[in-house]
Amino acid sequence: MANVSYRDQVLRLREDAIVSAVNRLLATKGYDLMTVDEVAAEAGLAKASLYKHFTSKEELAAAAMVRVLERATEQVDALDAQPQRPVIERLEAIVRWTLEVQLAGEMPSLPSQNSRLTDALRGHAAYMERLVVLSDKLGDWISRAQSESTLNPALPPEMVLFTLFARACDPVLGLLKAGGQHADQQIIDWLVATTFDGLGTGARRAVAAPKPAARSVKAVRAR
Amino acid sequence: MANVSYRDQVLRLREDAIVSAVNRLLATKGYDLMTVDEVAAEAGLAKASLYKHFTSKEELAAAAMVRVLERATEQVDALDAQPQRPVIERLEAIVRWTLEVQLAGEMPSLPSQNSRLTDALRGHAAYMERLVVLSDKLGDWISRAQSESTLNPALPPEMVLFTLFARACDPVLGLLKAGGQHADQQIIDWLVATTFDGLGTGARRAVAAPKPAARSVKAVRAR
DNA sequence: GTCTATAAGAGGATAGAC
DNA sequence: GTCTATCCTCTTATAGAC
């Protein structure tokens, strides 16, 4: 039995190295420019061996996304262990975490346009399950923040959710970092601030404010 | 002479059809998934003929970006013809315009990751010139809005500029539209509102507010 | 300048030995 | 499960006739 466990452990390590390589390549080059040859080279094994672990390039991408979704969920759970902390601060902390991951070059981002990949992911059970779990947890925070009006209650909750996901790969961070004029932490502070407060100063407030949008964020499943 | 002018006109029409095809394909599939074969098919000419007009796939992308930059600049100039209108409203109107273009499936977006393409564009004189012209005009609005505090003066102006560019291809619009739950105009209103006012309600205000950042937006040239 | 045909090469995936 | 070698399709770009 110890033998089996050992083999399993080696297997885990191998696959973890592969997923790490995919993660880094997705973060830097993106899905379309990432080649399976590169993944194999970086993970230190032959391409044919890699295909014994993951049956396609899409599977590789899905594995990397599953891992980052799990890590995000861990972060959410850790923040939920501090129930005295205001919900809006937890949302802020999650955005901050995603930006730090992105700044470290470890946020895998998928092209929202590649329909082949999108379809594959929609049919990927493990990926979809993690996505729903995380979305539900964040959706809970969002509706609580909206009911106490620390988040704008006029926005549909799924829009807030989409925006949080989108900011995790916002190109603004990369552009500011490439400018080389500002400290990393300063950049993150600004991005968090604009996510929740916008570019303006509040002088504009009282724009369109339609019905309170009571629907749950679980509508994501329908997509 | 009339003959030459006619030939020129035919040429212009041909190339305009090509650029329109590129524009639409960049908006839907993105650069990496767009193939030159598709462009040729959609524009209604043979691929080899297309290469007589544009010498590479990168040139095609640059041409589409040049056109959208010129159109954006036209919008800015049109808004500048109404000097009584507050600067912040003009910025809002430009964001609204970019979202409408995106909603119509006509906003060409380039992957911010493809370094080959990025390098080609940086070395593309016509593209860079248009980018600088538009950036300067927007930069003017931005600093004016900041000095009258309708835009947050604590943000570096180039961050505001980057954010405007980024929102023009924000995936949130596509996600909301795919949901099918909201009217197009409603979606745009929400996106404009969150761009300038954020997701929050202002209860968070008074975050980090460092030095006023007096540098001009012209620093973009340095990239 | 337009076409058909093709070169040249990248990249996803597999065969088959060990 | 790991490797080397190979298949095969797709894609950018060009040759060369008209």
Name the pLDDT band for A8 (thresholds 50, 70, 90).
confident
Compute CA distances A88 → A131, B26, B42, B49, whole Å: 21, 37, 49, 57
Compute CA distances B130 → B125, B137, B182, B198, whole Å: 9, 11, 35, 30
DSSP state letters, B134-166: HHHHHHHHHHHHHHTTSB-TTS-HHHHHHHHHH
Measuring from the CA of residue A44 to each C1', which nucleotide is nearest? D2
Query: For residues A25 and A95, what is the distance between their CA atoms, to the nearest angstrom?
Result: 22
In a domain, B162, yes or no: yes
The tokens for B164 are 């405007």
Query: For residues B141 and B159, what is the distance between their CA atoms, to the nearest angstrom?
Result: 14
Residues of A in contact with B114 (CB under 8 A): 29-30, 33
CB of A150 closer than 8 Å to CB of A206: no
| Tally of structural domains, chain B | 1
Percent of chain A with pLDDT over 90: 84
Measuring from the CA of residue B33 to each C1', which nucleotide is nearest? D11
Residues of B in contact with A176 (CB under 8 A): 156, 158-159, 162
Nearest Cβ partner for B198 among A113, A190, A196: A196
DSSP state letters, B19-67: HHHHHHHHHHT-TTT--HHHHHHHHTS-HHHHHHH-SSHHHHHHHHHHH
Which residues on neighbouring strands pair with residue A151, listed in sequence order?
B200
In a domain, B92, yes or no: yes
Instruction: Output the domain CATH number for residue A172.
Output: 1.10.357
Q: Which residue, among B209, B206, B189, has the nearest Cα to B95 in the 3D structure? A: B189
Name the pLDDT band for A43 (thresholds 50, 70, 90).
very high
- Distance measured from the CA of protein residue B59 to the C1' of nucleotide D15, in angstroms: 22
Is A197 close to B182, i.e. CB distance below 8 A?
no
Q: What is the pLDDT of residue B8?
A: 86
Size of interface A-B (CB pairs under 8 A): 183
Residue B151: φ, ψ to 5° = -110, 145
Range of the domain at B135: 58-220
| pTM for the structure as a whole | 0.93
- Distance measured from the CA of protein residue B46 to the C1' of nucleotide D7, in angstroms: 29
In a domain, B49, yes or no: no
What amino acid is encoded at A47 in this protein?
Answer: K
In a domain, A31, yes or no: no
Which of the 26-85 residues on chain A come under 7 Å of nucleic strand C at their beta carbon?
A: 33-37, 47-48, 51, 55-58
Instruction: Please state at what angle helix B87-103 crosses helix B184-197, rounded to 10 degrees.
Output: 140
What amino acid is encoded at B153 in this protein?
Answer: P
- Rounded mean pLDDT of A87-114? 97
The tokens for B95 are 């964001």
Q: What is the pLDDT of residue A223?
A: 45
Measuring from the CA of residue B55 to each C1', which nucleotide is nearest? D13
Q: Work out the minimum CA distance from A198 to partner chain B, whole angstroms.
A: 4
In a domain, B85, yes or no: yes
* Interface residues, strand D, Cβ cutoff 7 Å: A 7, 11, 14, 45-49, 52-53; B 33-37, 47-48, 51, 55-58
Compute CA distances B182 → A156, A165, B188, whole Å: 10, 19, 10
Q: Which residue, among B164, B127, B169, has the nearest Cα to B26 in the 3D structure? A: B169
Query: For residues B46 and B51, what is the distance between their CA atoms, to the nearest angstrom?
Result: 9
Instruction: Name every residue whose Cβ is closer than 8 Å to that of residue A152 and which is 6 or more positions away in sequence.
Output: A146, B193, B194, B197, B199, B200, B201
Is A202 close to B205, i.e. CB distance below 8 A?
yes
In a domain, A16, yes or no: no
In a domain, A13, yes or no: no
In a domain, A186, yes or no: yes
**Coil, strand, or helix at residue A197?**
helix
Query: For residues B54 and B63, what is the distance between their CA atoms, to the nearest angstrom?
Result: 9
Chain C positions with a protein C-beta closer than 7 Å: 1-5, 10-16
Give B130: exposed, middle or buried? Use CB within 10 Å, 0-12, 13-18, 19+.
Answer: buried
Number of residues that make up chain A: 223
- Rounded mean pLDDT of A178-193? 98
Measuring from the CA of residue A57 to each C1', which nucleotide is nearest? C12
Q: What is the pLDDT of residue B220?
A: 53
DSSP collapsed to 3 states, A62-96: HHHHHHHHHHHHHHHHHHHCCCCCCHHHHHHHHHH
Q: From the first residue on, what is the mean pLDDT of each consecutive set of 10 residues in chain B (223 residues)?
A: 76 96 98 98 98 98 98 98 97 98 97 94 98 98 98 98 98 98 98 98 62 52 47
The tokens for A182 are 């500002």
Q: What is the pLDDT of residue A200?
A: 97
Query: For residues A117 and A110, what is the distance between their CA atoms, to the nearest angstrom?
Result: 9
Q: Is pLDDT at A215 greater than 90 in this prediction?
A: no
